[in-house]
């Protein structure tokens, strides 16, 4: 089987083991072919049962956010990576950070590190959004308010007790531009705080409300 025929059987850059096996149905020993493709770099194993096409066969960039959803679930991208993705924080984040209602886990892969933080089920259920890809698929990511709430709750050592503490933390530690804080929706944050049952997220909702009123 030529690479062009193989690619017709694998429509996306990210694919599972069954898709790979089905694409090699003409081979008497498909597992040996898979081992050879891995050794040659035609395909890259992200984790057991999950692959991407290698540089030589790749037709378009693979989606790291989609991989994050697929590596460990249920989960969606949030925390530092989502804050950067939404333009709230300036520094590029290499680790793809996600939240999950399962155990906290970290996976090191040939294409980077994927980190998952456990949060309560009620908090997990709120504040996620779908981002559609050009091929019609989509990945799940936290909305800006939820990404920030997840980050604030996760940082237990920040010593946040008042709105003033929180404001300094957001500006100095996370380096969030004040203009970006004004873009957040306090009503969404209030709902997220209710699901989280978190005093810090309620402080965040009250702080954003005050900031937005002050800018009007």
Residues 167 and 92 grouped into a single domain = yes
What pLDDT is attached to residue 42? Answer: 94
| Domain region containing 127 | 64-214
pTM over 0.85? The answer is: yes
Q: Within a domain: residue 58?
A: no
pLDDT at 215 over 80: no
Q: Within a domain: residue 59?
A: no
Residues 135 and 192 grouped into a single domain = yes
Across 178-207, b (16+ Cβ under 10 Å) vs e yields eebbeebbbebbbbbbebbebebbbbbbbb
Residues 16 and 93 grouped into a single domain = no
Q: What is the pLDDT of residues 18-75, one digit of tens each?
A: 999 999 988 899 999 999 999 999 999 999 999 999 999 999 999 999 999 999 999 9
Give CA–CA dist 103/126, Å, rounded. 18
Q: What is the pLDDT of residues 130-145, one digit of tens each?
A: 999 999 999 999 999 9
């Amino acid at each position: 089987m030529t690479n062009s025929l193989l690619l017709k059987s694998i429509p996306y850059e990210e694919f599972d083991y069954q898709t790979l096996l089905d694409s090699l149905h003409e081979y008497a020993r498909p597992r040996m072919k898979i081992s050879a493709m891995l050794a040659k770099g035609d395909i890259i194993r992200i984790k057991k049962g999950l692959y991407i096409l290698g540089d030589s066969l790749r037709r378009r960039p693979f989606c790291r956010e989609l991989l994050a959803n697929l590596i460990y679930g249920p989960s969606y991208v949030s925390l530092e990576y989502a804050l950067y993705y939404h333009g709230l924080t300036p520094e590029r984040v290499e680790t793809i950070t996600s939240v999950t209602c399962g155990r906290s886990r970290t996976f090191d892969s040939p294409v980077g590190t994927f980190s998952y933080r456990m949060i309560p089920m009620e908090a997990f259920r709120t504040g996620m959004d779908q981002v559609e890809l050009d091929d019609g698929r989509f990945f799940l990511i936290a909305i800006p308010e939820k990404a920030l709430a997840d980050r604030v709750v996760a940082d237990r050592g920040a010593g946040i007790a008042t709105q003033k503490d929180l404001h300094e933390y957001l500006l100095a530690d996370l380096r969030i531009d004040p203009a970006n804080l004004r873009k957040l929706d306090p009503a969404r944050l209030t709902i997220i705080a209710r699901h989280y049952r978190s005093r810090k997220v309620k402080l965040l909702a009250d702080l954003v409300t005050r900031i937005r009123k002050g800018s009007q």
